[in-house]
Structure 1
Amino acid sequence: LPSMAPAAELMAVGQEYLLAVVPLWAQICQQFQHEVAARRQRGEAMDNAGAAMDLWNNILDRTLMEFNRSTDFANLQQRFLRAAMRQRLEVRKMAEQTAQAVDLPTRTELDDVYRRLHDLTREVHGLRRELRALRQTGGDTRAVIKSDKGS
């Protein structure tokens, strides 16, 4: 049976990320409200939604970029990516086991078939190039083909 540990780890790291981001969104909202109030006090009107969106986006970009440059975010992102890859490998393992149980080709088997098909396609293209080159140089392709069959 597949292990639930990678899924639990992924959920735990996701919750840690939310714990770090939720206060950040509250901070963004507070900064936006503070800036709107400061502009009103200065007598600057924000009459249209476009101006409000520009202000919101500027505050959002500035705050999120600060967070994205932090070591906290880097550590969380690194842990999240590793947990996601472990979970993906566990799901792949489970899918392989399920496919084998019901006599379906597994991902590994299909990858092998596709790799062989790719190699054979490249070989055919190479042989066609050789054949074209022989024809252009006036070589006797029948002799080449017969000598290949004999070997």
Structure 2
Amino acid sequence: AYNALLGEAGQAAFALFQEKLAQRGESGQTLDSARALFDLWIDAAEEAYAEVALSPRFREAYGDMINAQMRLRAAVQGEVEQAGLLLGTPTRTEVDSAHRKIVQLEREMRRLRDRLEAGGDASAGKSAEHPRAHR
């Protein structure tokens, strides 16, 4: 549906381009360079695309396409995870989990270091947070 709408925009662009050329011909305005012809084409194409892109049909088709791409991405990710498990390599889920744990440990280390630098007792804060820390 998305590609069909882009095709419609392309066809509309050619029709608008022909209209703009005809209007210039009727008014006696000439195109004196390839750049002027190109600019006229770009104006027609942008106008046609804007009309299609701002329509509810385009919004729906574009949303459907993006949703389908996200479902495909998730399915591919699931297949990659399965292949990783079969090959014994770390999966993205495992790497993401390890990364979260590392970030958490870095935060805890920073807090302990800050307490020590401030002259506080790091173990007192730790035992208050974790009552079984000294067993």
**Cα gap change, 1:127/1:145 in structure 2, threshold over 3 Å: closer, same or farther?**
closer
**Cα gap change, 1:37/1:113 in structure 2, threshold over 3 Å: closer, same or farther?**
same
Stretch moving more, 125-134 or 114-123? 125-134
Within a 5 Å distance, the mapping from 1:137-148 to structure 2 comes to 144=121
Unpaired segments ≥5 residues, structure 1: 1-15
Structure 2 residue aligned with 1:82: 67
Structure 1 residue aligned with 2:16: 31
Structure 1 residue 87, shift from structure 2 partner: 0.5
Structure 2 residue aligned with 1:5: none
Q: SS where residue 118 of structure 2 aligns?
A: helix
Query: Given residue 77 of structure 2, which amino acid in structure 1 is its aligned partner?
Result: R
Q: SS where residue 106 of structure 2 aligns?
A: helix
Query: Given residue 133 of structure 1, which amino acid in structure 2 is its aligned partner?
Result: A
Query: Given residue 23 of structure 1, which amino acid in structure 2 is its aligned partner?
Result: E
In the superposition, the TM-score normalised over structure 2's length comes to 0.83
Identity, % of aligned positions: 29
Structure 2 residue aligned with 1:3: none
Stretch moving more, 34-43 or 92-101? 34-43
Count of aligned positions: 128
Pairwise CA RMSD of aligned residues? Answer: 2.1
Structure 2 residue aligned with 1:46: 31
In the superposition, the TM-score normalised over structure 1's length comes to 0.75
**Cα gap change, 1:96/1:112 in structure 2, threshold over 3 Å: closer, same or farther?**
same
Q: Does structure 1 residue 69 correspond to structure 2 residue 73? A: no
Unpaired segments ≥5 residues, structure 2: 128-132
**Cα gap change, 1:127/1:26 in structure 2, threshold over 3 Å: closer, same or farther?**
same
Q: Does structure 1 residue 114 correspond to structure 2 residue 99? A: yes
Q: Does structure 1 residue 55 correspond to structure 2 residue 40? A: yes
Which of 77, 99, 118 is equivalent to 2:84? 99
Q: SS where residue 16 of structure 2 aligns?
A: helix
Distance in 1 between residues matched to 2:37 and 2:3, nearest whole Å = 26
Q: SS where residue 46 of structure 1 aligns?
A: coil
Q: SS where residue 53 of structure 1 aligns?
A: helix
Structure 1 residue aligned with 2:130: none
